[in-house]
Amino acid sequence: MNILILGPQGSGKGTQADLLAHKLGLFHFEIGNFLRQLAKENPEIDEKVNKKGELLEDREIFLLVTNFLDFKKMRNNIIFDGYPRSITQFNLLKSWLDKKGRKVDLGIFIDISRYESIKRLTSRRIDRKTGKVYNLVTNPPGPEVKAEDLIQRQDDREEAIKERLNEYEKATEPLRGVLRKEGILLEVNGERSISEIGDEVLTAVRERLEDERSKD
């Protein structure tokens, strides 16, 4: 089973993808981590992604992703987190999976308001000593963490977040409509606890798995 997990910045999609991957034995493919690893070895990607903050062209990122999956001999039981981020990227991935005899089985959209996204991201802090990420609203640090050790990234400041949300709304929001039209979209209220969202997502995925098995 291949799953896409979507949602605006701060929606908690990475957390839910990780939980789902562990519970169902899926491979969690997270595009941000993937590109950061590539950037360590590829100066061109490092320049574009890390130094200039640019997005890679659709075809370029598609080839990077699928070359990696081909190398790993993976084409099923994947949860794609942060990719695809546009209709073009989705169509490229869909075509690639089709050639492998696979498909996108489910798209999960974790929905939060623009206000909530900004509130959550501006509350995100990183422990400069450990690198651990906290959120002053949803996941505050314990008393052992000193306030002076918590730092805020530049791209977690309000103006930077608004720019990222604008890009998201232009590129990714239309994909939501495509997945809904194809009948594979699960829309989830993301303004609840992690466990409540996780329970709903896990139940829906298990139901989809049962439906697929009954067809075989």
The answer to the question of whether 138 is labelled as a binding residue is no
pLDDT of residue 81: 95
The answer to the question of whether 192 is labelled as a binding residue is yes
The string of pLDDT tens digits covering residues 101-117 is: 999 999 999 999 999 99
Mean per-residue pLDDT for 26-52? Answer: 84
The answer to the question of whether 114 is labelled as a binding residue is no
Does a structural domain hold residue 151? Answer: no
216 has a pLDDT exceeding 70: no
The answer to the question of whether 82 is labelled as a binding residue is yes
Mean per-residue pLDDT for 156-174? Answer: 85
Torsion of CA 178, 184, 190, 192, to 10 degrees: 160
pLDDT band per the 50, 70, 90 thresholds, residue 135: confident
Q: Show the tokens assigned to 41.
A: 């070895």
Mean per-residue pLDDT for 124-143? Answer: 87
53 has a pLDDT exceeding 70: no
Query: Position 10: which residue type?
Result: G
What whole-number distance in Å separates Cα of residue 39 and Cα of residue 152?
22
The answer to the question of whether 83 is labelled as a binding residue is yes
For the chain, helix, strand, coil in percent to 5 are 55, 15, 30
The answer to the question of whether 16 is labelled as a binding residue is no
Does a structural domain hold residue 158? Answer: no
Does a structural domain hold residue 40? Answer: yes
pLDDT of residue 4: 96
Highest mean pLDDT of the ranges 29-38, 96-105, 139-148, 164-173: 96-105
Does a structural domain hold residue 100? Answer: yes
pLDDT of residue 9: 84
The answer to the question of whether 134 is labelled as a binding residue is yes
List C-alpha distances in Å: 39 to 43, 68, 111, 153, 156: 6, 14, 30, 19, 21
The answer to the question of whether 107 is labelled as a binding residue is no
What are the helix and strand counts (H, E) for the chain?
A: 9, 8
What whole-number distance in Å separates Cα of residue 69 and Cα of residue 63?
10
Q: What is the CATH number of the domain that holds 63?
A: 3.40.50.300
Mean per-residue pLDDT for 163-182? Answer: 89
The answer to the question of whether 170 is labelled as a binding residue is no
Does a structural domain hold residue 118? Answer: no
How many domains does one find in the chain?
A: 1
Does a structural domain hold residue 163? Answer: no
The string of pLDDT tens digits covering residues 80-105 is: 999 999 999 999 999 999 999 999 99
Q: Which domain holds residue 201?
A: 2-113+172-215
pTM: 0.85
Does a structural domain hold residue 159? Answer: no
The answer to the question of whether 164 is labelled as a binding residue is yes
The answer to the question of whether 128 is labelled as a binding residue is no
Highest mean pLDDT of the ranges 21-35, 53-67, 119-133: 21-35
Does a structural domain hold residue 140? Answer: no
The answer to the question of whether 43 is labelled as a binding residue is no
Query: Position 130: which residue type?
Result: T
pLDDT of residue 41: 86
The pLDDT > 70 percentage for the chain reads 97
The pLDDT > 90 percentage for the chain reads 59
Structural contact between residues 109 and 176, judged by C-beta atoms closer than 8 angstroms: yes
